[in-house]
Amino acid sequence: MLEIQIDHADGHVICRPVGELDAFTVSQFRQTLAELASNPRILIDMSAVPFVDSAGLGALIGGIRRARELGGDVAVCCNRPTLTRLLRTTGFDRIVTVAETLEEAAAALGSSTPG
Protein backbone atom coordinates (compact mmCIF):
# COMPACT_ATOMS: atom_id res chain seq x y z
CA MET A 1 0.00 0.00 0.00
CA LEU A 2 1.35 3.38 -1.04
CA GLU A 3 -0.16 6.72 -0.13
CA ILE A 4 1.02 9.85 -1.91
CA GLN A 5 0.61 13.24 -0.27
CA ILE A 6 0.89 16.43 -2.33
CA ASP A 7 1.55 19.83 -0.77
CA HIS A 8 2.16 23.23 -2.35
CA ALA A 9 4.51 25.64 -0.59
CA ASP A 10 6.59 28.68 -1.56
CA GLY A 11 6.53 28.13 -5.31
CA HIS A 12 7.15 24.42 -5.33
CA VAL A 13 5.23 21.17 -5.04
CA ILE A 14 6.14 18.58 -2.42
CA CYS A 15 5.41 14.96 -3.33
CA ARG A 16 5.50 12.63 -0.31
CA PRO A 17 5.12 8.93 -1.05
CA VAL A 18 4.31 7.01 2.14
CA GLY A 19 4.96 3.27 2.07
CA GLU A 20 6.99 0.86 -0.01
CA LEU A 21 7.81 1.89 -3.55
CA ASP A 22 8.01 -1.36 -5.48
CA ALA A 23 6.66 -3.23 -8.50
CA PHE A 24 3.20 -3.41 -6.85
CA THR A 25 2.88 0.31 -6.13
CA VAL A 26 5.04 1.91 -8.81
CA SER A 27 2.25 2.64 -11.30
CA GLN A 28 0.51 4.96 -8.82
CA PHE A 29 3.80 6.77 -8.13
CA ARG A 30 4.62 7.03 -11.85
CA GLN A 31 1.17 8.50 -12.55
CA THR A 32 1.52 11.08 -9.78
CA LEU A 33 4.94 12.20 -11.02
CA ALA A 34 3.54 12.50 -14.55
CA GLU A 35 0.76 14.75 -13.26
CA LEU A 36 3.27 16.92 -11.37
CA ALA A 37 5.84 17.13 -14.18
CA SER A 38 4.62 20.51 -15.47
CA ASN A 39 5.45 22.23 -12.14
CA PRO A 40 8.65 24.31 -12.27
CA ARG A 41 9.95 23.05 -8.90
CA ILE A 42 9.24 19.63 -7.44
CA LEU A 43 10.48 18.29 -4.11
CA ILE A 44 10.16 14.55 -3.63
CA ASP A 45 10.26 13.68 0.06
CA MET A 46 11.27 10.02 0.36
CA SER A 47 11.51 10.11 4.16
CA ALA A 48 8.43 7.90 4.65
CA VAL A 49 9.54 5.26 2.13
CA PRO A 50 11.12 2.28 3.90
CA PHE A 51 11.87 0.31 0.72
CA VAL A 52 12.51 1.05 -2.97
CA ASP A 53 13.12 -1.64 -5.58
CA SER A 54 14.43 -1.23 -9.13
CA ALA A 55 10.93 -0.47 -10.46
CA GLY A 56 10.53 2.33 -7.92
CA LEU A 57 13.95 3.74 -8.72
CA GLY A 58 13.10 3.62 -12.43
CA ALA A 59 9.84 5.50 -11.86
CA LEU A 60 11.69 8.13 -9.84
CA ILE A 61 14.26 8.63 -12.60
CA GLY A 62 11.54 8.72 -15.27
CA GLY A 63 9.59 11.33 -13.33
CA ILE A 64 12.66 13.52 -12.94
CA ARG A 65 13.48 13.20 -16.65
CA ARG A 66 9.91 14.15 -17.63
CA ALA A 67 9.91 17.20 -15.33
CA ARG A 68 13.23 18.39 -16.75
CA GLU A 69 12.01 17.90 -20.33
CA LEU A 70 9.18 20.30 -19.46
CA GLY A 71 11.65 22.87 -18.07
CA GLY A 72 11.26 22.05 -14.39
CA ASP A 73 13.71 21.07 -11.69
CA VAL A 74 13.53 18.36 -9.05
CA ALA A 75 15.26 17.67 -5.75
CA VAL A 76 14.90 14.65 -3.49
CA CYS A 77 14.79 14.74 0.29
CA CYS A 78 15.58 11.59 2.24
CA ASN A 79 16.54 11.14 5.88
CA ARG A 80 16.72 7.31 5.77
CA PRO A 81 20.38 6.22 5.76
CA THR A 82 19.74 2.95 3.91
CA LEU A 83 17.77 4.65 1.15
CA THR A 84 20.25 7.53 0.90
CA ARG A 85 23.05 4.97 0.59
CA LEU A 86 21.11 3.23 -2.24
CA LEU A 87 20.63 6.54 -4.07
CA ARG A 88 24.34 7.33 -3.79
CA THR A 89 25.51 3.81 -4.69
CA THR A 90 23.42 3.77 -7.86
CA GLY A 91 24.69 7.22 -8.89
CA PHE A 92 21.23 8.74 -8.52
CA ASP A 93 22.71 11.66 -6.58
CA ARG A 94 24.73 12.61 -9.69
CA ILE A 95 21.56 13.34 -11.70
CA VAL A 96 19.52 15.08 -9.00
CA THR A 97 20.14 16.75 -5.65
CA VAL A 98 19.64 14.35 -2.75
CA ALA A 99 19.33 16.30 0.50
CA GLU A 100 18.68 15.14 4.05
CA THR A 101 16.04 17.77 4.84
CA LEU A 102 13.26 19.54 2.94
CA GLU A 103 14.99 22.84 3.67
CA GLU A 104 18.20 21.69 1.98
CA ALA A 105 16.24 20.30 -0.99
CA ALA A 106 14.29 23.57 -1.34
CA ALA A 107 17.53 25.56 -1.20
CA ALA A 108 18.94 23.41 -4.01
CA LEU A 109 15.94 24.42 -6.12
CA GLY A 110 16.49 28.07 -5.31
CA SER A 111 13.17 28.42 -3.51
CA SER A 112 12.23 29.39 0.00
CA THR A 113 12.15 26.83 2.78
CA PRO A 114 8.94 24.82 2.95
CA GLY A 115 6.36 26.02 5.40
Tell me the percentage of the chain whose pLDDT exceeds 90.
82
- Domain ranges within the chain, ordered by starting residue: 3-108
Bridging pattern class, strands 73-77 and 97-99: parallel
Average confidence (pLDDT) over 77-106:
92
d(CA 103, CA 56): 24
Summary mean pLDDT of the chain: 91
Beta-bridge partners for 76:
44, 98
The sign one gets for the Cα dihedral 15, 20, 21, 27 is negative
Q: Which tops the pLDDT comparison, 115 or 81?
A: 81
At 114 the pLDDT is: 45
CATH match for 3-108 among 2.60.120.200, 3.20.20.70, 3.10.450.40, 3.30.750.24: 3.30.750.24
